[in-house]
Amino acid sequence: MAPIRNILIVGGGTAGWLAACFLAKMLGAKADGAVQITLVESPEIGIIGVGEGTFPSIRGTLSLIGIDEARFIRECNATFKQGVRFNHWVRPAGAPGPDHYFHPFSQPSQRPGGPELLPYWLMGAAGNVPFAAAATLQKHVADMSHGPKRVTDGDFLGPLNYAYHFDAGRFAALLCTHAQTLGVRRVEATVEDVTLDGEGAIDSVVTREAGVLRGDLYIDCTGFRARLIGEALGSPFRNISDTLFVDRALAMQVPYERPDAPIPSYTISTAHEAGWTWDIGLHERRGIGYVYSSRHTSDERADEVLRGYIGKASEGRTPRLLKLNVGYRETQWVKNCVAIGLSSGFLEPLESSGIGLIEAATYLVGFLFPHDGNLAPVAKTFNAQMKARYERIVDFIKLHYCLTQRRDNAFWIENADPATIPESLRDQLAMWRARPPHRLDFVTDLEMYPPSSWQYVLYGMEFATTLHANRAALPELDAAKREFQTIAQLCHHAVKDLPPHRALVDHYLRRG
Ligand code: FAD
């Protein structure tokens, strides 16, 4: 067992460069005698360049690796993201009833010593107001096109919780520059072969331009190609298309109608006949894509749906078609190679889990780092945790589909078929019929999404929980009603205090 002295990261997309920055920071790569980190990336192959929505965990990651917010916003054409708006997921466009719901990033309001609001919302304490709109100000602020934090003083105590939308190409470039200042060595070369030693571990990678490269630990960030973990080491891929059906994407970038058009501070996810569109507003353009199931529609029809959604701005533009292998590897760390990013798996980008999973895997490698070269127990722990994380995210994504009332297309009918719902999710839904989700339903360190995210989606999808608890166990109805009223009043203050989203972004750009 030789100590780990050299890490070789193969691939320079979001996964490769984020892992490089994080490990360089954690392992102090610049110091004398520290672990050396080299990243090799192919200039020919390039990056996938589509992951543009994030979860609030990204803020902790940026701060940990030492990239400040203003620089990030300036260099990545970034905007603020306060949540996701889901259009037509419950029922098709035009059907009677609410046409959307919101998944905000802020937690439901909880005063110290005050009641937990959800059970009282279920008792009707907020009237007919949907849970997400009743329990936090965020939906109201986002609906008014205001940002999540202020730039000058005011009464409002924010900020509201938020993540970002950004340009994926620019983000990889920023991380690349930053990683090198942290001591990471960059090599531009294409890996053409991977050689194994007598025990089946990776011995070297053979590149066209830079010859043979070796590391004590290899990190496979080669995207869907999975050049090391898949092609060389044969770690099996678990396809989950029987649960999550979408397997293609058509993506397009379009300008705003006017340069001063309001920028939505949330991702707009609109359900269509065989999938859904994402609509992400950056500072200078929108990124829009239709993710759909090739079993339920054709590429030609998907193109029509995407153009129908975008309208005139799509004229003269050709969308990029991406074929997606949906699922993950149950074993993501094999001998001396660990996969991070798309090489480890891909789940549809409904709740921005891709970058969240990269963050989680990178933290795990950093915190469990096998300095002494004893890889096997670390690999075992890593594999168990990442598999559990993937399973929980699959359940969370499926939650968005399986409660739909849509019956307009086989895609939606099959999505609500219990046979397509993982048993773990079916069990939780069965419990939540009689009581709302509680934090004890979740093992925090294995979850990407907090309990409130599950609650917002569950009740946004109009799930019915019949409270069986004795009303005597819920004695704070009046306090809860007052709290809901206070939140409603604060909404107006918040909108007065918080700047329009575009003005907030412009403020950061001017500061540069
Ligand atoms: P890539 O970006 O593909 O990078 C692979 C790297 O490996 C490149 O540098 C390439 O040059 C290099 N490489 C490959 N082969 C070789 C070789 N032989 N030799 C040397 N180098 C090599 N995630 C989110 O969090 N939010 C979203 O909104 C989101 N939307 C998405 C939408 C779509 C349609 C798709 C497909 C994905 C989306 N994702 C999203 C996922 C996200 O894009 C990825 O998780 C993220 O970009 C990381 O990709 P990566 O670095 O693993 O792979």
Instruction: Give the atom of ligand 1 at the shortest distance from the alpha carbon of 11.
Output: 7
Residues belonging to the active site: 81
- Does 489 have pLDDT greater than 70? yes
Looking at domain 6-78+166-239+327-390, what is its CATH homologous superfamily?
FAD/NAD(P)-binding domain (3.50.50.60)
**Mean pLDDT, rounded, for 111-134:** 95
Using most ligand atoms within 8 A of CB, pick from 45, 188, 448 the residue to mutate for ligand 1: 45
Cβ 335 vs Cβ 233: under 8 Å: yes
pLDDT band of 512, cuts 50, 70, 90: low
Question: Tens digit of pLDDT for each residue in 148-194?
Answer: 998 765 545 567 999 999 999 999 999 999 999 999 999 999 999 99
Instruction: Give the atom of ligand 1 at the shortest distance from the alpha carbon of 12.
Output: 9
- Does 217 have pLDDT greater than 90? yes
Backbone φ and ψ for 244, nearest 5 degrees, come out as -110, 115
Ligand 1, atom 33, lies closest to the CA of: 50
- Does 247 have pLDDT greater than 70? yes
Ligand 1 centroid distance, CA of 296 (Å): 26
Ligand 1 centroid distance, CA of 51 (Å): 8
Cα-based angle 95, 101, 107 (whole degrees, multiple of 5): 165
Instruction: Give the atom of ligand 1 at the shortest distance from the alpha carbon of 223.
Output: 53
Question: Tens digit of pLDDT for each residue in 53-64?
Answer: 999 999 999 999
Question: Tens digit of pLDDT for each residue in 27-42?
Answer: 987 788 889 999 999 9
14 is in an annotated binding site: yes
Q: How far apart are CA 160 and CA 146, in angstroms?
A: 11
Backbone φ and ψ for 367, nearest 5 degrees, come out as -80, -30
Cβ 42 vs Cβ 190: under 8 Å: yes
* Domain parsing of the chain, residue ranges: 6-78+166-239+327-390, 107-159+393-497
Pocket residues for ligand 1 (CB within 6 Å)? 10-16, 40-42, 45-48, 50-54, 168, 190-191, 221-223, 225, 227, 249, 251, 289, 322, 324, 341-342, 349, 352, 354-355, 358
In the block, tokens 């999550």 appear at 244
Ligand 1 centroid distance, CA of 310 (Å): 25
191 is in an annotated binding site: yes
The reported pLDDT for the residue numbered 158 is 62
Four-CA torsion 175, 171, 79, 278, nearest 10 degrees: -140
The reported pLDDT for the residue numbered 153 is 52
**Mean pLDDT, rounded, for 210-225:** 98
Radius of gyration of the chain (CA): 23
- Does 229 have pLDDT greater than 90? yes
Longest alpha-carbon distance in the chain? 74
Ligand 1 centroid distance, CA of 169 (Å): 10
The reported pLDDT for the residue numbered 259 is 87
